[in-house]
Each structure stands twice: as C-alpha cells, then as structure tokens.
Structure 1
Amino acid sequence: MRDATSSPEPAPLLAAVDAKAQVHLIVGSNPLAAARCAKVLQVGAKPVIIAPEDADLHFSLKEHIEQGSAQWVKRQFQDEDLTTLGREEVDHVVDAVFVTLSSQDPLSEHISKLCRRLRIPVNVADAPHLCSFTLLATHSDGPVHIGITTSGRGCKLASRLRREIASSLPANLGAAVDRLGSLRKQIWEEDQAATQDDSKFEVDDDDATGHSHKFNSLVTVEDSRTRRIRWLSQICEYWPLQKLVSVSEDDIKAILTAYSAEKQRDLPATVNEVATQRKGKIILAGSGPGHPDLLTRATYKAIKDADIILADKLVPAPVLELIPRRTEVHIARKFPGNADKAQEELMQMGLEALRAGKRVLRLKQGDPYLYGRGAEEYEFFRKEGFEPVVLPGMTSALSGPLFAGIPATHRGVSDQILICTGTGQKGVAPKPPSYRPNQTVVFLMVLHRLSSLIDSLVSPPNTKGPSRFRPWPATTPCAVIERASCPDQKIIRSTLEHICKAVEQEGSRPPGLLVVGATCEVLHKLEEQKWVVEEGYRELDDFQGVSDIPLATEQ
C-alpha cells in the first residue's frame, strides 16, 4: 500500500541502457570479475580489467584477454584510471566501474566515492550502500529482456523470481515481438505516408509510459487512417500470449486487412436454404470480473464445448487461455468510436457459424445483460431463427467493490446502490446522478472520461431556473478499481476532489470502474492522505481453480 503523503523508501530507476562501445572498468580478477566481464561483453561494451600482474586470473578472464576481447592493466588501481582509460569522445572518462574486491577492502569505498564525485556509475560487490547502480537478474529472448531486482536484499531470490517469470512465458516470444514490431513499423510508415502528419500517431517510444491518454479515447473521422495501428496495439494488449506467439505475420496482416475493408459474405439466399443446414446453437455467456475461478460451471463447460468463440476485447487472458487450441477464436475489435462496427462484425461472424451448424459461444465480460448489449444480441439472433441460451456472469459492478473491500451497502451508511455507465451511445456523456448521501454509485466504462464525469458530479447544473440535480460534495469518498480479482488488480482510494489527479499520476489500465459514496471508507479510511494506491490481488490463489474441478458428463 502507498499513499500520496507518506515517504516510503524510493524505488530504483530501472532503465535499459545502450552500452555499445562503452568502456567498463573491472577492478579485480576473481570469479565475480569474470562474470562481470562476460556481462560487459554481452551488452557490447569493452571491459578493462585492473589487477596486479601476479594476480590469480580466473580462467575465463584469461581467455577473453588472450582473444583480445578484454584489456588487462597489470597493476593496482590508480585514481587516474577513471579519467584516462575511457573513450576519446568522452574525454577518456570511463562509462562504468565494477569493483569485485571485498566490501571490507578500503579501496572499495575509496573507488565508490571517486566515482560518485565524477558521476561515473559504480557497482561494488556485496555493498549496496556503495553502489550507484546494480545489475538485474535477467531473462532474454530476442528483443525481449526482463530484469528483476530485490534492491540488494537477496540476489538468489531475484534469480528465482526471474526463473519463475521466464518459465511462465511462452516459447518463441522474442520472435513474435520481432514480427509484431516489424509489422507495426510497416503500418506506421504506410499511414504516415497517407496522412503526412506525425501528430496523428501514438508512438510508443518508452516502454514505461503504459497507455497514453488517447488509448481508449473516441475515434474521430480524422483519425480513421490510424485505426490499424490502434488495433494492432490492442492486439498486443489483450490477446493471450500463447495466441500472440502462434500467429504468423501473414495472419496479422490478414486480420488488419479485413478490418479496414468491408468483407463480402456469401450468405444463404433463402429461408429454405438455411433450413436445409444443420441447426447451430448460440450461447451468450458472461465471463465474470476477470479471474477464471469466478466463471460459472456452465460457462466453463460452454468454453470447452464451443466450435467458435466470439470474445469481448476485455475478457482477460487467463479466461481465454481455458479455450482449447482446436477452437476458433475471434476477439472483438472494439474501442470507443468503433464499437458499433465491431459489434456488427461479431454478430455477422456468429450468424455465419450458426448457419453452418456450429456451436457458437459469445463470451462477454461481466454479465451479458449489464451494459453488455446482451439483449440486443439476443434479439438479433432470435430474428434470424436462432434462440440464444443466456448464461449469467458475476458482474464487476458488484464484485469489483467487494474485491476492493468496499461494501455496496452498509447499515446506517448506504441502503441502495446505483449502477451507471460512464460511456453513452455515440460518445455522448450520460446525465450524472444527483447526490444522495445514502447511495453507493458504481460507474462502469468510465476511465477514458473520468475528468469530465467528476466535473459533472461536483458542479452545479448550468441551467437557468430550479433544478432537481444536487451536486456531490468534493469530499465524497471514491475509488477507482482496475482489473478486479486479477493478480494485477489496482485500487486508487481518494475523494472526488483528488481522484482525477491521482489517476493521472498513477496511470490507468482498463477495464476499470469508479465507486462513489460513503461506503468507500467504511473499511478503509483515508486519514490525511489525498489518495492511497493498492496493487495486486492473490487471495483466490488459495482456492481450487475451476480448471481443476471435474465436470459432470452425460451418461
């Protein structure tokens, strides 16, 4: 847990440094010096080893020196080494220093002080207080590099965490990243040539930025040429990794081509033609708030039995990973401004599959009938002669607050709950509900327009004459809950006065919802903080997973 006013120990600045052609000084000749030398060579830098001529060199250091890939300065360290052994283009100042001597050796502290004075990055073995940087336990797969640090508390634990993370990643992830990166560059260049306007593109220059503020913003007519790049970005964000690494570049190109062009479908021409085909079956099912263990058994069985699954974009990867490999899967190409077209596309896919006699599962996040357009889809398929089976799902509107420790109702505080959408039809903002002190309000699909919603809640109505709308006090407790029930769940607890700034500073990632009302502080008091952030949710790990429960079969 962290808040805006407390002062926890600062986190280290993790960065990917381009070290090609740099000069890195290694003081020592022991096995750790050999490991540092190998690391320096791995990143394309030049190692310079400083050790007396009679030092006991590690055998791998000898090999590097004999091969000419490392330089050996055969003497004790001298202060001038820091400013004379480096590259000419930086006035011979070395780029980094690794001290592999004992942390108790007076020379270790001396070198550390010199480096800090000269602003040279320095790493001293087993002495975090003497280091200005540390090396991470890393896993590399092509362009993918994952680093773990325990801030000097335990390198063995960092290595284990790295192994755990690496083992959970699919094989050939690096090749998939290369493939998607190459395709993204191609699309970007094509769209740039078409628009001649760099400002229309969202360029991910920094891996740390997460979603830009435009990621889920409305798409205007002027932005239509950028839709392919946005869809590719959302493929990277929402598709399960196993599916990402299995698709080829041609597969992705075909998807994007189909997206930008209206697909001509050869539909059966007459009712009699449809009637002669094997009757398909359509199931509308809710996948719950996110964690796969919160699926109903009926939905889990539908996932296993379906011939084709049409899933919402925000159905989380752990749920999609339950889908058998043989099953055909399509992810909705939905984002604000494109929702209607994407909805029509999915329903047409479902209709084609039904007419071919297939068992179709329309998998939706949360519950199908709560802002899920489930009734619209039910009516569509019924008019086409297919009566859907509807399976309920646990809605995040009620379970999300629960996972955040917020009771939807509480005796003496709130005796009613109101569920609202933050996104109206055609992007028009819905009218805000009036303030009721005994009411808890949950807003779904609101993160992309949080600021305007909060303004509408706390501002008096901009109308002449009397109004029934009562503005909400700026001090009203509230919380933003993202990816409820998932391991990467995030909660930002604040008030209406500070929530927008909190989300702007802490970042956001859909799906998320906003809870407003006094129940937000029944179990969690803010005290004097402007906001508090809580990350992670692992409590469900202690329970048996849905995939481990045998399903009853027909005899």
Structure 2
Amino acid sequence: MSLYPLFANLSGRRVLVVGGGSVGERKVLALSRTGARIEVGAPQITARLARLVDSGLITHRNGTFEDAWLDHVWLVIAATGERALNRQIAAAAEARRLFVNVVDDAELSTFQVPAVVDRSPLMIAISTGGAAPVLARLVRERIESLFDASLGPLAALAARYRQRIRQRWPELGPRRRFLESMFGGKIAADLRRQRPLEAERALRDALEAPQSGAPPGSVAVVGAGPGDPGLLTLNALRALNEADVILHDRLVSAEVLELARRDATFIDVGKQGGGAHTSQECIHALMLEHARAGRRVLRLKGGDPFVFGRGGEELEFLRGHGIDYTVVPGITAAIACAAYAGIPLTHREHAQGVRFVTAQHRDSIDTLDWRALAADRQTLAIYMGLGSLERVADRLIAHDRAAGTPFALIENGSRPGQRVIRGTLATLAESAAAHEVQSPALLIVGPVAALADRLHWYGATPLTAEPVAADALRAA
C-alpha cells in the first residue's frame, strides 16, 4: 500500500483524542501547536492534561467512548492501549468517513502520524507507513542535523515578500535563480547568524537593485576537526553540503571530504614543510576569485580555524575586500587527540591549566616563554612540533621541568591509524625516532600524559617501550 502524503489545516477544527494516558498526552501536545480544538475522551487523564483542561486549552469528555463523541469531529486518534476499544473507535470513525489513527496499529488506521522535522512554516514529514516507526525516527534525526532552525524564518521571509519577488522576476527561470541565491546566500547566512533585520534589508536591496549577473558570493571558514567525521559540527556538515568550491587543507581527512556535495569543486591548498606548498597569498586569491564569481566558498581547515589555523588572517583579508563571510568552529586537535588517547588536559590532582603552543619553526620556538612553559601543574599541548622535539625537550629541561615528566605523542589522532607513543621528556626525540612517528602528530607534556596508559579507549594500546627496547623489537 502506498500512502498519499498531505498536511492538514486543523486550526479551529475539532480533533478527538481517545485515551488520557501518557500516549494520549503526547498526541495532545503535538496537536496543540496546530490550533485545533482538542477534546480528550477518557475516564482518567494525566496531571498535565488536567492542567491543560483547567487552563481552557483542551476539553475533557469524562467517561468511556461513545459514538456520539464523533459528532462534528474532523480527525480521530485512538490511544487507549486496549485493542478491542481501539477497534471499536476505528470502526465508528470509518462509518462516519472520518480519518482515524490508532496508535501503533497500522492495520486499524486510515492515516499515519509521521515523524516531523519542524522548521515552521517549513515542515518535513517522514513515514514508513507504520511498518518501522523507529526507522522513521532515525531518518528524522539525520534530517534534523542537516537543516538548521534558520530555515523557518527564511521560509517566512520568502512568504512575506512572495508577491514582490514575483513582480520583480515574472519569468520562472530568473525567479528560480534568485530564490536559490536567497536560500543559499547572504540572506540565509544573516538569518543563521541571528541578524534578521540585515537579512530583510539585503532582500529589499536585491529587489530594488538593477539587473545584474551572478549574485554575490561568500566564504565560510570552517573547522573540520582532527579527522574523525563524527566530530564535525552540524553547521560544518551543512556548509559541506552547500559549498560550490572547497579549499581544503592537507590535514582534512578523506572521510570528511566524502560528506561534501558531489558536484563541488575541490582544491587542495595544503601546506607541508619540505613538500608541496600553497602560499597564504595564493589561498587569499582563490577565495577572492571564487567569491567574486558568485560562488559559495568553503575554506576547510583541520582542527579549528582560530587555533594555529590562520583563520584570523583570512577574515581580515575577506573583510578588507568586502567579501561576506561566516565562521564555523571545529574541535581543535589538542582537545580531540587528547580525548581519543584517554588524556584529560586538566585534572585536579595533576594540572590546573593547559597551554596551546606551536613549535613549527626554529624562530617560533625561540620566541616562546620557556620559563612559564616549564612550570609545574600544567599541561602543554604542542602543535606542529614533530621536527623540533629535541629542542623542545632541551629547553623545558633547561628551565627546570623534570626530565622524568611524562609525554604522549599522538599520531593520526581520532583516525583509524591512531598511535600513542608514551615516555618521558629525557627520551622524547629518541622515542619518536624509534617509533618512526609521522605527521600529523600532537605532543602532550605533563603528568596527565601518563594517564593514557590506563585510560586509553580508542585504537591500539599506547606504546611505552623506550628506544632501546623498540630497536630490539624491530630486530626480533
């Protein structure tokens, strides 16, 4: 059987819910948003339903079901939990040609209540025809993650200006192109960032502007997290599905890129010491070129764009050239890699603070405040330090950080190939070389690093062998 989907206008119309228990209560609450005149028929009702009756929002028919309850009713829901009684209600409704839903009984129902994604006035309904309600719920959860709450105000704004839009673009083709730009461009972005007045102003400006070519483009600067696609935020996932052009770093995983629009243009702008290199100036030029061509550009960065990601520089460039932009934070590598290694960055017994440090170049290392970094009872999370491990250890020890301070090197954190190398500062460089640690790798220094030995939960057990033992293992 194939169901015919429809949306019912129940405002001011009588709807009968038979059953005053928890199931009936859920149905009443869902119906209450429609403006229907709700009647609940049951000998007893829940305390919440009783409060709704007292407030005059619903009516209570106290007693057992009678056919007369169906007089002047438009829709019926049977939620008694008693199959014989539900069958009686369904038969009485059928005789009067009333649509009836019997909860959890598709055979007796003449309509199904779908799982709903509510972005009023936009409504998305999902139904399996009563065959698998749990599956419908799971699909609804997936859709919920794709469509944010700004779609409701966006639909309402389009409705208010519908006539003006039709007058401005009487031909279907141009009108469709404008609406596509409205739903995916600056107007939608303004609503997403809680700027409704700016969104409406942008719409009025577009209606009054002379005919032009491509609509203005925009750039979304988005953090992709450390690699596990499950760590993407909902806003990052939406941006991946909306982008026309994706400028992505080397550290963005293939699994994350797989979630993007299939017809998007992908441009690898990764940077890697000693290898292929895309200058920051070139990245700026690419963002500007595609945004000025009216495209939605996604600048996708590993981790978080504002933590050693040069996101601030890119925003300054975009602002200076009048390009509209948004920012979607990502889970930065220090937080994610530490969590996936079972390492709390702060701990009441070991560390009252945490410092994020980059050690990519010799010059950056020499400008760090090593005395402050060597202080006890704190955790150091050191980015891009794989090529400087010996200098990092030497400077910390020279500034009185104990040579026996634990460290953890997390390679490919949160990804299927994650490895954790454990040891002490005195053997940091040798341990990394013995285990042939490769980028990307994050260094954590401090007592909390030792907790990985017993709190690890993801991937292989941390490798704690000292370099000599590791050499012996490889020889064996």
Q: Could you say which structure has the larger radius of gyration?
A: 2
